[in-house]
Structure 1
Amino acid sequence: MPRHRLNNMDNVSTDKTLKQFSQWREERRHKKKDYSYVIPHSEPEIEYLHHNREDTTITWIGHSTFLIQYHGLNIVTDPVWAPRMGFQRRLGSPGIPIEQVPEVDIILISHSHYDHMHVSSIRKLYGPNTTVLVPEGLKRKIVRKGFSRCREMKWWEDLSLRGVKFSFVPTQHWTRRTPFDTNTSHWGGFIMEIDPPEKKGKGDPVIYFAGDSGYFQGFKEIGERYNIDIALMPIGAYEPEWFMTSQHVNPEEAIQAFEDVKAKTMIPMHYGTFKLADDTAREALDRMEAERKRRGIPEEAIRVLLYGETLRYPKLKPSDSTTH
């Protein structure tokens, strides 16, 4: 029986031909890239993070993995502490060693690609009170791996857990774990907000974790539906752009998406941790900064984190005075 395949909005395809893969491989042979820039580390505030149950904090582990402390919950996005991705070694060690992460309440999985869903990392984080939220079509696989407390969500669906409403929103992407399960589960991002809304205080921002996406009109719809304060937005794995454009935003498109969702603060992610494409971390940051200046966006609106660095809301001040 044929398996149900899920699609992007407007049925935008991310499929690539063998000829296109060959063209990319040929282009790569002639490229000379400077990979000397490595994202620095900030000494993590382990003791504070273990005891904090009041402040909203966002700590970058690397790639699309964050520890978010929100309304007393410890939330981890797309957990990947893996030392390598395929044949590529990790370019920078995780901001917090996985053994030192506070007890996790919620794990959010944006989609099933290996650089966003590392089963060994989930297994180390998963405790007696942990719930895993996954896209439509992925629950069966997660439960089979031994994570029984799992909730599956469709686009625009929401659910409340311990005073926080999680909404699953669209992205433009695709997914595959094996040669036989292409697009049999969905992909998306998550909105986190206080539920009920009247309990929201000054220290309770609406947070948008954008997952992995090409640029699409869905960002504008997300901005219309939610009053977002902080957007965790991908900026890397975009080169060659003729190949990646349907599935990964470039830095300029990331800025456009940030404006589309009408967030007040953007935190870039999905760059500099794994060599998934031909762009470098320095290129992604420089292009993002140039676009910020071109659009006249205030410098403080985009917060570039170091590995292990924690931002605290509402002031969003770094936990230390490191220079980016």
Structure 2
Amino acid sequence: MKITYIGHASILIEDRGGNLLIDPLFSDKVLFFKRRSPLPFDPKTLPPISAILISHLHLDHFDVPSLNYVKTSTPLIVPEGSGDKVLARTSNPVIELAPWASHEIGNSIKITAVPSKHSASLITPLPSRSTNGYIIEGEKTVYFAGDVAYSKYFSDIGNAFNIDVAILPIGSYRPRFLMKNIHMDPREALRAFIDTRATYLIPVHWGAFRLSLEPPHEPIDILKEEAGRSGIEEKIKILEPGNSLII
């Protein structure tokens, strides 16, 4: 299995059973936020995609123009309750998954939606009902958390699956009083990784766009420092956009 970090929260997984694109964001802007560095590849060179996984419909995770780079026959797997909004913006087939529901891609890849604590807005602590993480079971088992605040769900997911790689967000967390119910900070991401009992951590949601008040490289710097302090730095696989982990 090959896992490529495209940037922000976008991931390409190439597996013997098929290729998955997760939360693709190829645009140069999210609203008025500009991409800080060029996209590391030409999306026209994507391999054939078996399915696209969308964690939720915030614009930095559901970028409609990015769907133009895949065939209209490619299914989109989305959180339960999101289907109508997605179908209003694309002609691709849509598969809704509730937490703990599964869908198989061919005979080799199983996608399971898992719960995620992600507030619907900055001003309410109530979780959005239309947010998923995903477990991808192919040659290896990968957990993609999407946008998420720290919660007991990480332990639940770690108890339910034998995870090889956890892909967890580490950025967009300041000011903390506004962001704590929306995004983890790097220290919480490290706790979440330990909770999942995964073998490796790939940090995402950092560097490509400055969506909150922390300096762009602060999340990675803190993660490295805390991982070193905990003695698990060899488990942290920091990928620059365009780079891959083969497991």
Same-fold call, TM cutoff 0.5 = yes
Aligned to 1:213: 148
Post-superposition Cα deviations, 1:77-106, rounded to whole Å, max 9, x if no partner, equal 101111011111111222222111112111
- Give, as a single letter, the amino acid of the residue that structure 2 aligns with 1:112: L
TM-score (norm 1): 0.72
Aligned: 1:77 with 2:11? no
Post-superposition Cα deviations, 1:170-228, rounded to whole Å, max 9, x if no partner, equal 1111347xxxxx9885102100113xxxxxxxxx2100111010111111101111110
Aligned to 1:10: none
Aligned to 2:175: 240
Aligned equivalents of 1:93, 1:175: Cα separation in 2:
30
Identity of aligned residues (%): 35
Aligned to 1:292: 227
Aligned to 1:307: 241
RMSD over equivalenced CA pairs, Å = 1.7
Aligned equivalents of 1:141, 1:245: Cα separation in 2:
27
Q: Which runs of 5+ in 1 are unaligned?
A: 1-55, 177-181, 195-203, 314-324
Task: Classify the secondary structure of the residue corresponding to 1:281.
Answer: coil
Post-superposition Cα deviations, 1:33-84, rounded to whole Å, max 9, x if no partner, equal xxxxxxxxxxxxxxxxxxxxxxx10111110101111233111110111101
Task: Classify the secondary structure of the residue corresponding to 2:19.
Answer: strand
Q: How does 1:313-324 map to 2 (within 5 A)?
A: 313=247
Aligned equivalents of 1:281, 1:296: Cα separation in 2:
25
Aligned equivalents of 1:112, 1:123: Cα separation in 2:
17
Aligned equivalents of 2:80, 2:224: Cα separation in 1:
35
CA gap 1:105/1:165 in 2 versus in 1, 3 angstroms = same
Q: How does 1:251-270 map to 2 (within 5 A)?
A: 251-270=186-205
8 A contact 1:231–1:266 mirrored in 2: yes
Post-superposition Cα deviations, 1:92-145, rounded to whole Å, max 9, x if no partner, equal 2222221111121110000000000001101322343x1110001111122222
The structure with more strand, counted as a fraction of residues: 2
Q: How many residues align?
A: 242
Q: How does 1:27-106 map to 2 (within 5 A)?
A: 56-106=1-51
Aligned equivalents of 2:169, 2:195: Cα separation in 1:
14
Aligned to 2:164: 229
Aligned to 1:14: none
Task: Classify the secondary structure of the residue corresponding to 2:156.
Answer: helix
Aligned equivalents of 1:102, 1:111: Cα separation in 2:
24
> 4+ residue stretches of structure 1 with deviation over 6 A?
none
Aligned: 1:167 with 2:101? no
Higher gyration radius (CA) = 1
TM-score (norm 2): 0.93
Q: Which runs of 5+ in 2 are unaligned?
A: none
- Give, as a single letter, the amino acid of the residue that structure 2 aligns with 1:85: V
